[in-house]
Structure 1
């Protein structure tokens, strides 16, 4: 008597499509989960954070340190709510990606200078926190090219309350933002500034005057932790003579302090 062999039916075309669709959904859910909870990439478009961040840097903003806010989702799925939950409060000196309070469709990156309750002021081009002038030391000259024009800045290393240091650039005394009134940071808000002090639109300019103003905690997106890669926008992709310089390899995966 012959043996009966089990015959496995070939999957139907519909079953194959369903399997593919399920795989795509799972993959998208995984990517969205990573971007929502863990980290999200952003490209730096302006010189406001030079020398810490350069135009053309693609940075990775870690979301988990500050918990979950309504702008944690990259595609706007989060409900509209104030404040944050989970995570911890930002530290003074963090470089932070946030949504612009007067226009949340725009994303900015600046350094956190003022915590809730702090008094912040500029006098003679020097930064004061709670009435004390922050110490800084000379760190040479910084030269770069912005929009095709050579630029030259004085470079300093500034020390924030608590001892954290970071570089800043100044062209000299006399910038419109070198003299400001004293700002008192409201509860659950933050005061942000660019490291390129004379080329940064930041919390020194109130939102009502077209600036950043105080940033509510729910507008924080994440902490800028690393530069994934960097492309020099001054080098055109079709300029074969300089093409090898189009990428700044020394900045790849660099830590942001």
Structure 2
């Protein structure tokens, strides 16, 4: 191969590498799922690709954000409430703007993401915009399943884990999450990758 052709090839490769790095930094960024709070949709150690493009938040989105408590920890939860929405849990059921969200039973799932395996009841919860996803429930008792009435403040979001009995989320206003300012959202998770299952698009 002539020297000129080698130089052209090197230039093309350099441009392609720069484009790939720019794509990673500005369009999608990979993150590792840190906990079992999003089981069964996401499991600890899953690699998720997060879109960095600006978007209008929608209920049901899986979003990655930095902890609003200043720790800088990167977390992932599902967006349930937008500014002005009212949210409450009663006997383990989600109530959004005064309406109990339907949750169709879908069997049982073993969750081994915590200290030991737990068999949890699964159901497909559906939001008013038609977005459906599987949530896990072990019990309907306790504070997390019988919460106060929340009103999401302007500029904030209300986020829940799909693994409802094993998630520190917006139900705990004094915890590491609480209401999440929109400015703390890194982006929407669009693709999940794991060595033991096929890649999955996250709606």
Of 133, 137, 157, the residue aligned with 2:104 is 137
Residue 149 and residue 162 in structure 1: after superposition, are their counterparts in 2 closer, same or farther (change >3 A)?
Answer: same
Cα distance, 1:37 vs structure 2: 1.8
Using CA pairs under 8 Å that are at least 6 residues apart, name the structure with larger relative contact order, 1 or 2: 2
Output the CA distance in 2 between the equivalents of 1:28 and 1:219. Answer: 29
The answer to which structure has the higher helix fraction is 1
Partner SS state of residue 165, structure 2: helix
Query: Which residue of structure 1 aligns with residue 181 of structure 2?
Result: 216
Partner SS state of residue 183, structure 2: helix
Residue 28 and residue 175 in structure 1: after superposition, are their counterparts in 2 closer, same or farther (change >3 A)?
Answer: farther
Gaps of 5+ in 1: 1-19, 68-87, 231-246
Q: Tell me if structure 1 keeps the 8 A contact 2:134–2:162.
A: yes
Cα distance, 1:57 vs structure 2: 0.5
Cα distance, 1:104 vs structure 2: 5.1
Query: Which residue of structure 2 aligns with residue 254 of structure 1?
Result: 200
Deviates more, 1:145-154 or 1:131-140: 145-154
Cα distance, 1:128 vs structure 2: 0.5
2:117 is aligned with 1:171? no
Gaps of 5+ in 2: 1-9
Question: How high is the TM-score relative to the length of structure 2?
Answer: 0.87
Output the CA distance in 2 between the equivalents of 1:210 and 1:144. Answer: 23
Output the CA distance in 1 between the equivalents of 2:72 and 2:15. Answer: 28
2:154 is aligned with 1:187? yes
Question: How high is the TM-score relative to the length of structure 1?
Answer: 0.70
Q: Tell me if structure 2 keeps the 8 A contact 1:175–1:198.
A: no
Q: Tell me if structure 2 keeps the 8 A contact 1:38–1:62.
A: yes
Q: How many residues align?
A: 196
List structure 1 runs of 4+ shifted beyond 6 angstroms: 25-28
